[in-house]
Amino acid sequence: MKRLKLLRQQNMSKKRIIIVTIFIILTIVSIVIGADMNLISSLFAGDKIAWTNFIHGRLPRTMVIILAASALSVAGLIMQSLSRNKFISPQTAGTTDAAGLGVLLSMVFFGSQSIYLRFSFAFIFAMASSILFMILLSKIKFKNIVYVPLIGMMYGALIGSVTTLIAHKMNMLQVVASLNLGSFSKITLLNSSLLIILIPALVLAFIYATAFSIISLGEDFSINLGINYKATMFIGLIIVAIVSAAVYIVVGPLPFLGLIIPNIVTMYYGDHVKKNLVDVAIFGSTFVLLNDIVSRLIRFPYEISVGLTMGVTGAIIFLFLIFKKVNANE
């Protein structure tokens, strides 16, 4: 028994080493790839323009990819623990759609405003929407693992329809279309500063990770272990809302990220949130880095939206997970 456990731990360690190695390689490739493929040699040559491009363009873009992907993947893991459903994420629970509605309303009422005001609106709407969805979820008696995400998608579609209606009335359809186009192409050192807020959110997620694991076992069980169920649930939703709002404003939607990455990680490492946090962050970053690199190489030196690429790859993986889960329950 001990030997089997040791072999399993060694196997898991090997997988971690492989994914970390891939992550490092893709990070380097992400920095190197661009319109100027000779950037690295120019940096070593002391070219000031190359250094400016590197500091204000290439490096922030790669850092934003890693930070946004890590945070959104962790937010998906938390959302799945809170809802006790493997196919719930900020995107399938209407949180991302609500953040979009908040951003649009901030533009309608205040016109040209700071990114932090937009974030405030996005956070409030994302938080309110998440709370409403969890209340709705608590009222549903038939909580089939596939049925619940469908309700979440319909709920998100309803919010999206309201957003489109308001945008149509205010002649802002192009604005909404640009907001819903997930892309890292316009990332600079200046407009990525908002994502600093993701760091305390990730720290908070790590602090409450064990509590999130416990409340996934149910309210009664959590209370018996001394966990404040409602307070922990509220903190989890705050983290999800912060991450969803910040990533949506800076990058846009990243389809399926918070949904498939936690599922892949828990498939291999189990359901303990705290033990999986780092793995989820690295897996998520690796997945987005790979999709971003593909998006930049398909029509090089031009690039397509990373949201489009992730929509295709994410949908394929999502369908695989759905069929796997359905077949396992039969």
Condensed to tens digits (0 to 9), the pLDDT of residues 125-160 reads 999 999 999 888 888 766 666 777 788 888 889 999
Q: How far is CA 109 from CA 102, 125, 225, in A?
A: 11, 15, 46
Give how many domains the chain has, as a whole number. 1
**pLDDT at position 227 over 60:** yes
Confidence of residue 319 (pLDDT cuts 50, 70, 90): confident
What is the pLDDT confidence band of residue 41, given thresholds at 50, 70 and 90?
A: low
Whether 239 is in a domain gets the answer: yes
Query: How many Å apart are CA 80 and CA 205, to the nearest integer?
Result: 13
Whether 147 is covered by a domain: the verdict is yes
Instruction: Kindly state whether residue 30 falls inside one of the protein's structural domains.
Output: no
Q: Can you give the pLDDT at residue 69?
A: 93
CB atoms under 10 Å from CB of 144, counted, come to 12
273: containing domain:
62-329
Q: Which residues, 6 or more positions from 246, have their beta carbon under 8 angstroms from its beta carbon?
A: 71, 119, 122, 194, 195, 197, 198
- Domain harbouring 241, CATH code: 1.10.3470.10
The mean pLDDT of 276-285, rounded to a whole number, is 90
Transcribe 234-274 into DSSP letters.
HHHHHHHHHHHHHHHHHT---TTHHHHHHHHHHHHH-S-HH
Residue 275 resides in a domain? yes
Quick one: pLDDT band at residue 20, thresholds 50, 70, 90? confident
| DSSP assignment of 4-27 | HHHHHHHHHHHHHHHHHHHHHHHH
Q: Does residue 33 lie in a domain region?
A: no
Quote the pLDDT of residue 218.
79
Does residue 185 form part of some domain?
A: yes
Whole-angstrom distance, CA of residue 30 vs CA of residue 32: 6
- Asked if residue 16 belongs to a domain, the reply is no
